[in-house]
Chain A
Amino acid sequence: MEKQSIEQLQKICTQLRRDVLRMVHAVQSGHPGAPLGCAEFFVALYFDQLRHNPDFKMDGKGEDIFFLSNGHLSAGWYSVLARSGYFPVEELKTFRKINSRLQGHPATHEHLPGIRVASGSLGQGLSVALGAAQSKKLEKDDHLIYILMGDGELQEGQVWEAAMYAAHFGVDNLIATVDYNGQQIDGPTTEVMDLKNLKAKWEAFGWEVIETKKGNDLKSVLEGLEKAKSLTGKGKPVMNLLYTEMGYGVDFMVGTHKWHGSPPSDEQLANALGQLEETLGDY
């Protein structure tokens, strides 16, 4: 895939946000907040960083593989997959409807291209990503495994089983990113279950940790992912703490948990879309 300019990538981010809002609005269900906050990450990954082939093969041999552990960001993932050629953009309109490949949470259901494992029940993705990373090592395939997790998701114990395992085996062909927005369904993470010092936690588990402080600034996100890549192959798993704002891009949605799992009304949708330019054409 040809490298795109920051301006072009920015336009894709705007379109992704429009897609997410229209998708969850259409079925009056789903999770708009986190995918809005991760638009820059999704676009930087799929349109710049990932060495991948939209002509999808399950085993991902000879390409980088991405896993989404916090499956409720499905609307954002489906949008970036469609926009980068995995399946027709028009299929986004089937999101969460009966007989769709675009399940509420990602699934290998009817073999939707781009999805390699189901996610939704939280805390499982890092383990799966580690297995895929070790499979690459056995195959002597030097491509990378990427994974996105939520910060609230880190409250699941399995994540820390996987964290310990990754360092023990020196799984250094994996870049994990945490969507560090400080929000979860019931409220701010500091109130629900404080994550305290995440950087120190991951470091104590034996990971190389970088912080991307401006997770909604495309240039910073790209720099962070480049830096993370430069740290692979050195015997340690790599953690990218990505500071984002939930609901970023829509003024009345940003920075609150209230849009974690609630769809906008007709009026709210119109207001939100008015803030986001249609760049690639709506589905």
Chain B
Amino acid sequence: MSLDLKFTYTEKKDTRSGFGDGFLEAGRKNPNVVGLCADLIGSLKMGAFQKEFPERFFQTGIAEANMIGISAGLAIGGKIPFAGTFANFATGRVYDQIRQSVAYSNKNVKICASHAGLTLGEDGATHQILEDLGMMKMLPHMTVINPCDYNQTKAATLAIAEYEGPVYLRFGRPSWPIFTPADQKFEIGKAWKMIDGKDVSIFATGHMVWEANVAEAMLREEGISAEVINIHTIKPLDEEAILESVKKTGCAVSAEEHQINGGLGDAIAQTLARNNPAPLEYVGVNDSFGESGTPTALLEKYGLNAANIVKAAKKALSRK
């Protein structure tokens, strides 16, 4: 049995490659774009930029705190630094450096975080950060973006180069379906309604947008009409899009590769509670660390795949 998917794909690629390609293009467009990386240039796909603009690239060694400070200093001088490392080391390890030197000081630093979430896979829980979105969205001045596939990550990377202010850009390691158009315009803070529906709203971010696309087809087979909204920008959250959708459907599901505590779902709950209380079910990691395994096995074990979104959607519907 094959599903009638609204969005299909012919190719898979990692979102970090979308970042690497977008970063190179941003560097070609604007000579002020510079790069930094803490000994993970290959993993972050920053090598092409480094090769083309060696004088604008700074290998910091395994010293993330220093990398964040140097980025703030480069921004003072008018540069647009893209500082890359794994999401765990780009947030938890350097939270105070980001808070004081970047967010509070309002520096035009782009924190580029790869290998986020469970889909990092076999490296296990030490590297699978599931708290980064929460930490970053709590910081005043910080914009938080979590695109869904290669094309959207590339578009987001180009968009943040043109935006003035601190940004946290989150992406991942696994090969993932490319299901959004190459020529998309990325608008920071503007949610994208990908599929119209009337029974339940599914708000998804990052890799989970693909799972939401699959879940929509599964629900449709059972006669349930789901609306799928791609929340690529966690902060500022497009509250208007969320409220408009829930006003129509009356219930919602959030889906993210992150702890339920403090993530996208919490932000949506806050919006709904203040404006239009409605049933909301969360698809995310429930107060637990991850473990080693393949991305698919991990998403299944921790309840983060399309089948879990379907289950959550039905539960939300039953609570209307």
A108 contacts B105, C-beta separation under 8 Å: yes
The answer to whether the Cβ of A252 comes within 8 Å of any Cβ in the partner chain is: no
Contact with B along A106-134 (1 / 0, CB 8 A): 01100000001111110111111111111
Task: Please measure, in the bound complex, the distance between the C-alpha atom of A117 and the C-alpha atom of B73, giving whole angstroms.
Answer: 8
| Residue among B60, B96, B99 with max Cβ neighbours from chain A (10 Å) | B60
A164 contacts B61, C-beta separation under 8 Å: yes
Chain A residues lying within 8 Å of B61, measured Cβ to Cβ, are 161, 164-165, 168
B60 contacts A165, C-beta separation under 8 Å: yes
Chain B residues lying within 8 Å of A60, measured Cβ to Cβ, are 76-77
Chain A residues lying within 8 Å of B56, measured Cβ to Cβ, are 138
Chain B residues lying within 8 Å of A18, measured Cβ to Cβ, are none
B65 contacts A161, C-beta separation under 8 Å: yes
B50-88 residues at the A interface, CB under 8 angstroms: 55-56, 58, 60-61, 63, 65-79, 81
A59 contacts B78, C-beta separation under 8 Å: yes
B interface majority secondary structure: helix
CB of B89, distance to nearest CB on chain A (Å): 13
The answer to whether the Cβ of A260 comes within 8 Å of any Cβ in the partner chain is: no
Number of B residues contacting the other chain (C-beta, 8 Å)?
Answer: 32
- Tell which of A124, A134, A136, A164 touches B58, judged by Cβ atoms closer than 8 Å: A134
A67-120 residues at the B interface, CB under 8 angstroms: 107-108, 116-120
Summed over the interface, the residue pairs from A and B with CB atoms below 8 Å come to a total of 119
- Tell which of B69, B73, B106 touches A158, judged by Cβ atoms closer than 8 Å: B69
The answer to whether the Cβ of B7 comes within 8 Å of any Cβ in the partner chain is: no
A165 contacts B70, C-beta separation under 8 Å: yes
- Given A58-B76, A118-B100, A121-B96: A158 touches B65 (CB 8 Å cut-off): yes
B72 contacts A117, C-beta separation under 8 Å: yes
A158 contacts B58, C-beta separation under 8 Å: no
Chain B residues lying within 8 Å of A121, measured Cβ to Cβ, are 96, 99-100
B73 contacts A118, C-beta separation under 8 Å: no
Give the 7 A-B residue pairs with the shortest CB-CB distance, closest first: A131-B73, A127-B69, A135-B77, A161-B63, A161-B66, A131-B70, A132-B73
Chain B interface residues (CB < 8 Å from chain A): 34, 55-56, 58, 60-61, 63, 65-79, 81, 96-97, 99-101, 104-107
A-B contact pairs, 29 of them (CB 8 A): A60-B77, A61-B78, A108-B106, A117-B72, A117-B101, A118-B104, A120-B100, A121-B96, A123-B65, A124-B65, A124-B96, A124-B100, A124-B101, A127-B68, A127-B70, A128-B73, A128-B101, A131-B69, A131-B76, A132-B77, A134-B77, A135-B77, A158-B63, A158-B97, A161-B61, A161-B66, A162-B63, A162-B66, A168-B61
